[in-house]
């Protein structure tokens, strides 16, 4: 296990980012392991590989430009488009909007009394700083309003033609430009062009408009916690955002172990890709280009899957055939698992269940779990244990098949691990969801979020290898039971309790009950849904799979961020009107729904 995690999470593999040689080396390594274990290849694949094509944004296109008067700035040196930017030309007078944020709790609004319609907004990164350089709005880190995406949404909603973002000079010495390069930047999810500019560019615009320089304006805002927004007279810019995209071949790695029922299968999966050098998904230092090794996410799950395959191959023929899959492009929106279920080497009806291993390398002791949890114990075993050495393993999806509760309880009783439920449904942000959406029962194993998640510090030496060994033994017990159990129907009602794996932003207190189509990254203008959860407001209102939500009351919905923001401002029992595109129609239909209180 140490050797496998150490290799997959080494700097030599470049963080296993999309379209890197490191990702291909990881795939080759997994394929060699499959071969040495004695797994077989599947019909229709290229050996152990299931290749497919995906689109990535890799560099700024040659038409990208930014100009003020007779001065042309240099793309890549003076400015870059950022990952939330749309493509296209823009022009307009420049308006300085401070940090480009609103915060109702602190009665702060950079856009108050400011006309930005059809204009280009200049705003600083982050939000007002205290004397130590920390946020005045958030005890730890920065509020959600400080993100590029939130600033872009606010500017767009105010009617801006484009947004120029600059790193403020005080406290934030790093003026590294955050490029579109990496996973999915520049895919058109934003509705306006968004550029990250150097402080020298911002100061030139401010100087031309007769304003104080950036440092002076920042100090004024930070000291008073009051906006200093203003138009910049006789200062206009024009520009173009041009993103060159290219298609690259990536591959799932697939092998199977024949069982006594050769025409029925259990799938065991884990994604082997990660973030490369970070990009927009990184939670590390802004602008960092450090390698994100992803030891827990998800070298740990890949290692567990390989070890499980080896164990099962050594212990005779299972009752059903077992398909082992290392998925790629999970971090890009579950693309690998979606490709697998859409192009399955076996009929989907012959897959009786799926076990997903994602982030299983940081097992915590029961004492650590209790110290960090404000909730009641989830199982009798957890409530009863007084042994601080017992590790906690989170299990999701036990409600997706009638037999899964009993299967999990049996494995729990035989394992030194303490099992904690994280939701009975199959809807959750990992590869099992692709199977759940095809109505295949799923279970998800997870050791919990931690401070190294999506950061360069997720390294191999932090893996709990004793805990990982116990996860593998628990997983083998689960797979053997599923392989021997009668075939189960998917319990769709379980999806009213989606999986809870934590998050970094504020959670809405209400739910609409839609399952977003996370694979629709290239779609513009609205949020496409995969389905409506059973007994949810969306189901009661009549929302259907592939509906595209384009408006929530008076709020325009372009991206999933917009829908999340709308829900965050909602109240249980509130009646809302959705505008929805259905089928091939270009004319939205109106659907009324009543928001419900979240139960999780």
Q: How many CA atoms lie within 13 A of 286 on its CB side?
A: 19
Residue 98 in contact with residue 170, Cβ under 8 Å?
A: no
Q: State the pLDDT at residue 509.
A: 67
DSSP of 259-300, one letter per residue? -SEEEEEEEEEEE----TT-GGG--SSTT-------IIIIII
Q: State the pLDDT at residue 372.
A: 45
Q: Provide CB contacts within 8 A for 349, sequence distance 6+.
A: none
**143 pLDDT tier (thresholds 50, 70, 90):** confident
Give 449: exposed, middle or buried? Use CB within 10 Å, 0-12, 13-18, 19+: middle
Q: Which helix (H) or strand (E) holds 337?
A: helix 335-342
Integer-rounded Cα Rg, in Å, for the chain is 25
Distance CA(4)–CA(491), nearest Å, equals: 36
- Identify how many contiguous H helices and E strands the chain contains and give both numbers: 14, 27
- List, for residues 235-265, the tens digit of each pLDDT value: 999 999 998 877 889 999 999 999 999 899 9
The residue among 339, 413, 340, 349 whose CA lies nearest residue 381 is: 413
Average pLDDT over residues 201-222: 96
Distance CA(49)–CA(42), nearest Å, equals: 9
For helices 404-414 and 465-484, the axis angle rounded to 10 degrees is 140
Residue 418 has a CB neighbour count (10 Å cut-off) of 26
**56 pLDDT tier (thresholds 50, 70, 90):** confident
pLDDT at 98 over 90: yes
**β-strand partners of 548:** 528, 581
pTM tops 0.85: no
Residue with tokens 């392991």: 33
Distance CA(133)–CA(128), nearest Å, equals: 9
pLDDT at 517 over 70: no
């Amino acid at each position: 296990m140490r050797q496998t995690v150490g290799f997959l999470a080494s700097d030599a593999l470049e963080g296993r980012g999309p379209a890197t040689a490191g990702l291909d080396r990881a795939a080759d390594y997994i394929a060699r392991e499959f071969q040495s274990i004695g797994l077989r290849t599947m019909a229709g694949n290229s050996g152990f590989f299931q290749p497919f094509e995906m689109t990535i944004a890799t560099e700024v296109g040659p038409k990208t430009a930014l100009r003020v008067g007779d001065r042309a700035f240099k793309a890549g040196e003076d400015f870059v488009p950022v990952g939330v930017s749309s493509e296209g030309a823009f022009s307009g007078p420049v308006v300085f909007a401070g940090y480009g944020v609103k915060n109702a709790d602190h009665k702060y609004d950079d856009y108050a009394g400011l006309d930005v319609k059809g204009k280009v907004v200049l705003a600083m990164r982050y939000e007002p700083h205290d004397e130590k350089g920390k946020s005045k709005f958030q005890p730890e880190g920065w509020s959600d309003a400080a993100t590029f995406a939130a600033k872009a949404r606010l500017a767009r909603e105010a009617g801006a033609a484009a947004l120029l973002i600059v790193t403020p000079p005080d406290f934030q010495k790093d003026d590294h430009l955050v490029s579109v390069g990496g996973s999915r930047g520049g895919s058109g999810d934003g509705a306006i062009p968004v550029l990250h500019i150097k402080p020298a560019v911002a100061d030139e615009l401010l100087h031309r408009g007769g304003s104080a320089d950036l440092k002076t304006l920042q100090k004024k805002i930070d000291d008073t916690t009051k906006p200093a927004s203003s138009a910049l007279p006789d200062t206009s810019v024009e520009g173009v955002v041009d993103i060159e995209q290219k298609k690259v071949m990536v591959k799932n790695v697939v092998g199977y172990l024949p069982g006594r029922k050769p025409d029925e299968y259990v799938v065991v999966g884990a994604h082997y890709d990660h973030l490369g050098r970070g990009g927009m998904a990184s939670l590390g230092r802004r602008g960092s280009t450090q390698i994100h090794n992803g030891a827990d996410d998800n070298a740990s799950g890949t290692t567990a899957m390989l070890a499980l395959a080896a164990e099962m191959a050594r212990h005779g023929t299972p009752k059903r055939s077992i398909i082992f899959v290392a998925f790629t492009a999970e971090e890009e929106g579950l693309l690998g698992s979606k490709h697998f279920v859409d192009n399955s080497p076996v009929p989907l009806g012959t897959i009786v269940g799926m076990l997903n291993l994602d982030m299983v390398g940081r097992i915590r002791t029961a004492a650590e779990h209790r110290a960090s949890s404000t909730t009641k114990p989830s199982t009798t075993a957890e409530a009863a244990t007084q042994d601080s050495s017992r590790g906690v393993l989170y299990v999701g999806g036990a409600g997706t098949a009638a037999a899964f509760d009993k299967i999990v309880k049996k494995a729990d009783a035989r394992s030194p691990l303490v099992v904690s439920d994280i939701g009975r449904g199959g809807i959750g942000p990992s590869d099992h969801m692709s199977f759940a959406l095809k109505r295949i029962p799923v279970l998800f194993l997870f050791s919990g979020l931690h401070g190294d998640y999506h950061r360069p510090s997720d390294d191999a030496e932090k893996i709990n290898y004793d805990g990982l060994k116990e996860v593998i033994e628990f997983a083998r017990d689960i797979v053997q039971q599923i392989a021997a159990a009668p075939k189960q129907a998917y319990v769709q009602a379980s999806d009213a309790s989606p999986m809870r794996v934590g998050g970094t932003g504020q959670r809405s207190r209400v739910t609409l009950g839609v399952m977003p189509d996370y694979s629709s990254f290239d779609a513009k203008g609205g949020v496409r849904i995969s389905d409506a959860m059973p007994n949810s407001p969306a189901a009661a209102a009549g929302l259907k799979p592939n509906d595209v939500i384009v408006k929530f009351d008076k709020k325009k919905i372009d991206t999933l961020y917009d829908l999340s923001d709308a829900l965050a401002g909602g109240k249980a029992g509130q009646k809302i009107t959705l505008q929805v595109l259905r089928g091939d129609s270009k004319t939205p239909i109106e659907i009324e729904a009543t928001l419900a209180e979240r139960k999780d």
